[in-house]
A and B are shown apart, each in its own frame.
Chain A
Amino acid sequence: MAIARPALATSALRRRAVQRDRLIAVLMLVPSILAIAVFVYGFIAYTAYVSMSNYTTARIDLSFVGLDHYVRLFGERRFQENIRNLIVFTLFFLAVCLVFGLALALMVDAHVKGESVFRAIYLFPMAISFIVTGVAWRWLFTPGDLEPTGINLLFEMVGLGFLKARWIADTSVWPNLEVPWLKVRLMVPMAIIPVVVAAVWQMSGFAMAMFLAGLRGIPEEIKEAARVDGCSEWQMLRHIILPMLRPVTLSAIVVLTHVSLKTFDLIMTMTGGGPGNKTELPSLYMYELRFSQFNTAQAAAVAMILLILVSLLTVPYLVYNRRAQSVEQ
């Protein structure tokens, strides 16, 4: 008991030390918190305000005009085209990336020789810039006016000439549906297909890596037990592997879709939004409005619509992850 008193005293001291350390810990976060508060939340608030202002020329004018710019955008042919392109691009890109990425992962995971070499080749485009991808694929998909070039030439050389197409020079929209209350013809602008191919080339390795991580997380005993029960490989995929890949698939969908909504660099280099805005996305239109037309308010409105689209997807995902983590702890 005699030793208890000094122990108590030191523990009180220690508690004070720990309290001081807690304060230091919070203080160390302050620079980052301030930076995020200003550069993310403050800036978004400012953009939101500008999008409802009269700042439509090089002269700063922040008088409030409400939702005028949003109304104008949705009634505008060019922005309607942007949204159509964005939907088509995202759906194609997401679907192909997921299916392709899963196929790559299953093949790499099938105990093949040279597994690491295949994996490295399928993933390497993730390490290079979208600008590099854009330059390379632009020349591949340039159809050639007098004689075929790029992929068309390659098709002709291997006897697949019937596959030749106008690619990034194709101005058609298929099936070119007319809708009375829209200024834009609906469905698939053909020039967006080569852009999807390039984007899939770059990002499907990421989907593969996600699925591979998921596949490696499935215990071998489960697969073994299914085999013993006479499960065919197809049944195994359908009833055991795919359901167990669901969480990974959800993450892949969120990440890939948000990348797709934000796509800018690749299109800038590959098509510049052309031909005739057939591959233009809101991210490019925003850039042009702000830095070529100096219509800052309208640009801010486009940016806010883009932000809202991305947030609809990522905010529930962040909240879901936060919940899942607090359950784990």
Chain B
Amino acid sequence: MSVSAPSLPQTHHHGKPLSHRIGRLLLYAVMIALAAWFLLPVYLLLITAFKDFSEVSLSRMWDLPTRFSLESFDRAWNGGQGTTGMRGSFVNSVLLVVPATVISCLLGSMNGYVLSKWKFRGSETLFTLILFGMFIPYQSILVPLVMVLSSIGLYATLPGLILTHVVYGIPITTLIFRNYYANVPSELVEAGQIDGAGFFDIYRRILLPLSAPGFVVVAIWQFTSIWNEFLFGLIITNDPRLRPVTVALQNMSGSQFTQWNVQMAGALIVAVPTLLVYIFLGRYFLRGLLAGSLKG
């Protein structure tokens, strides 16, 4: 412990007063208890989803499964006995998230480039006006959104949902890229201009090679938000065959025909892709999260 407390280099573990050691012990106890609280729902999801149907009972919901079973996952994924499987919705979500994320990244990167390196009169005000779009409650645009999408033939289609996510993703992706490019020295851009490089040359040869971390942050952010999103999916895909996973899960959890162990397995299926991203790329996820609070 003395090693990890660099501000007190002169003290040794054994030299520390007892009260300090008790304090540390208490600190760890509280932190472990809190970690247990955070993991409690995951524990319940896991032990329930891996039970077979004969063992599932609300009054024994905290008992561990006596044998490992994938029955619940099979039902949640493939459906049957009144339950609609999530396989189709999972595919829909992938088909939605991938193009929406790619387009969002490209748009955000270009916007960020212009708003950080090609500022013009009013560009800061324009940026603020764009940012407002990420704070609005989407209820305030739902009515005309449905009308407009219907009139251009995109209502109840996947492209319509992609378009919606791309448009309402513009503020956050622009914000992250703008703050990211603001840290690229303007001298690099000026040097490029002196060498006769044009708008696109500078973007391709100077900004883009430095952009990989920015793209990762924005891609992870958009992937996670769109995968987890519910309201647009609910409103725009009123056709059951087009549902994204979150809407499918909500439907499953509201259904009287679907046993709760199947709902738990469904919840795990929905959570796994973004959890994997979080586990392997958590650092970038955190950066996107903090970028959302404006200060870059």
Binding site for B on A (CB under 8 A): 14, 17-18, 20-22, 24-26, 28-29, 31-33, 35-36, 38-44, 46-47, 50, 104, 107-108, 110-113, 118, 120-140, 142, 144, 147-150, 153-154, 157, 201, 206, 209-210, 213, 220, 223-224, 227, 247, 251-252, 254-255, 258, 261-262, 264-265, 268-269, 272, 282-283, 286-287, 290-291, 296, 299-300, 302-304, 306-307, 310-311, 314-315, 317-319, 321-322, 325-326
Contact = CB atoms under 8 A, between A and B. Distances in A.
A131 B246 contact: yes
B151 to A, nearest CB: 12
B135 A314 contact: yes
B286 interface: yes
B144 A43 contact: yes
20 contacts: A22-B118, A22-B120, A24-B199, A32-B111, A40-B133, A46-B144, A107-B30, A110-B27, A111-B6, A118-B35, A128-B275, A131-B228, A131-B230, A131-B267, A136-B41, A137-B41, A150-B61, A210-B290, A252-B293, A262-B137
Contacts of A227: 7
Given A36-B130, A129-B271, A139-B260, A326 B124 contact: yes
A127 B274 contact: yes
Contacts of B66: none
A318 B59 CA distance: 51
B140 A303 contact: yes
Interface stretch (B11-19, B80-88, B166-174, B207-215): B166-174
Given A43-B144, A136-B44, A322-B125, 4 more contacts: A128-B274, A136-B264, A142-B58, A258-B135
A21 B113 CA distance: 13
For B118, B120, B279, the residue with the greatest tally of chain A CB atoms inside 10 Å of its CB is B118
A93 to B, nearest CB: 16
A282 to B, nearest CB: 8
B137 A283 contact: yes
Contacts of A148: 59
Given A17-B196, A40-B132, A296 B143 contact: yes
Interface string B274-296: 11011100100110011011110
A290 B142 contact: yes
Contacts of B27: 107, 110, 112
Interface stretch (B67-75, B94-102, B153-161, B247-255): B247-255
Given A36-B130, A265-B246, A140 B143 contact: no
Given A265-B230, A304-B140, A25 B114 contact: yes
Nearest to A17: B198
Contacts of B114: 25-26, 28-29
B129 interface: yes
Q: How large is the interface on B (under 10, 10 to 19, 20 to 34, 35 or more residues)?
A: 35 or more
B4 A251 contact: no
B59 A149 contact: yes
A220 B7 contact: yes
B250 A269 contact: yes
Given A46-B143, A149-B59, A302-B139, A321 B294 contact: yes
A53 to B, nearest CB: 11
B62 A124 contact: no
Contacts of A111: 4-6
Contacts of A296: 143
Contacts of A255: 292-293
A79 to B, nearest CB: 14
A249 to B, nearest CB: 11
A209 B27 CA distance: 19
Contact of B144 (A47, A125, A210): A47
B118 A264 contact: no
Residue of A24, A36, A50 most packed against chain B (CB within 10 A): A36
B59 A287 contact: no
A272 B104 CA distance: 32
A314 to B, nearest CB: 4
B58 A149 contact: yes
A290 B136 CA distance: 18
Contacts of A129: 227-230, 246, 249, 270-271, 274
Interface in B189-206: 193-194, 196, 198-200
B264 A264 contact: no
A310 B38 contact: no
B28 interface: yes
Contacts of B235: 291
Contact of A139 (B264, B278, B293): B264
B270 A131 contact: yes
A247 B129 CA distance: 22
Nearest to A256: B293
B196 A14 contact: yes
Given A32-B107, A153-B62, A21 B143 contact: no
Contacts of B193: 14, 18, 21
B38 A125 contact: yes
